[in-house]
Amino acid sequence: MGNRRVVITGGAGFLGSHLAEDLLSRGDEVVVLDNFITGNPDNLTHLPQDDLTLIRTDISNYINVDGDVDLILHFASPASPIDYLQLPIQTLKVGSLGTHNALGLAKAKGARMLIASTSEVYGDPQVHPQKEDYWGHVNPVGPRGVYDEAKRFSEAMTMAYNRYHGVETRIVRIFNTYGPRMRLEDGRVVPAFISQALRKEPLTVFGDGKQTRSFCFVTDLVDGILRLAESDYSGPVNIGNPNEFTVMELAEIISELGGLDLNVEHKDLPEDDPKVRQPDITLAKELLGWEPKVQLREGLEKTMSWFSKVV
Residues interacting with ligand UDP, by CB under 6 A? Answer: 81, 176, 188-189, 192, 204-206, 211, 213, 247, 269-270, 273
Q: Is 191 helix (H, G, I), strand (E, B) or coil?
A: helix
- Residue 122 a catalytic site member: no
Cα 40 to Cα 42: distance, rounded to the nearest angstrom: 5
Least separation in angstroms between CB 183 and ligand UDP: 12
Q: Which parts of the chain fold into alpha helices (H)?
A: 14-25, 81-86, 88-93, 99-109, 145-165, 189-198, 218-230, 247-257, 282-288, 296-310
Q: Closest CB to ligand UDP among 87 and 167?
A: 87
Q: Closest CB to ligand UDP among 169 and 212?
A: 212
Spatial CA neighbour of 75 closest among 139, 23, 136, 144: 23
Local structure of residue 121 (DSSP, 8 states):
G
Q: Closest CB to ligand UDP among 109 and 188?
A: 188
Q: Closest CB to ligand UDP among 13 and 63?
A: 13
Least separation in angstroms between CB 299 and ligand UDP: 14
Least separation in angstroms between CB 87 and ligand UDP: 15
| 18-47: burial string, b at 16+ Cβ within 10 Å, e else | bbbbbbbeeebbbbbbbbebbbbeebbeeb
Phi and psi at 217, nearest 5°, equal -75, 145
Least separation in angstroms between CB 5 and ligand UDP: 32
Cα 114 to Cα 133: distance, rounded to the nearest angstrom: 19
| 52-76: burial string, b at 16+ Cβ within 10 Å, e else | bbbeebbbbeebebeeebebbbbbb
From the list 84, 122, 147, 161, the catalytic residue is: 147
Least separation in angstroms between CB 103 and ligand UDP: 25
Q: Closest CB to ligand UDP among 168 and 272?
A: 272
Q: Closest CB to ligand UDP among 5 and 277?
A: 277
The DSSP string of 137-190 is: B--TTSTTHHHHHHHHHHHHHHHHHHHHH---EEEEEE--EE-TT--TT--SHH
Least separation in angstroms between CB 118 and ligand UDP: 8
* Residues catalogued as catalytic: 147
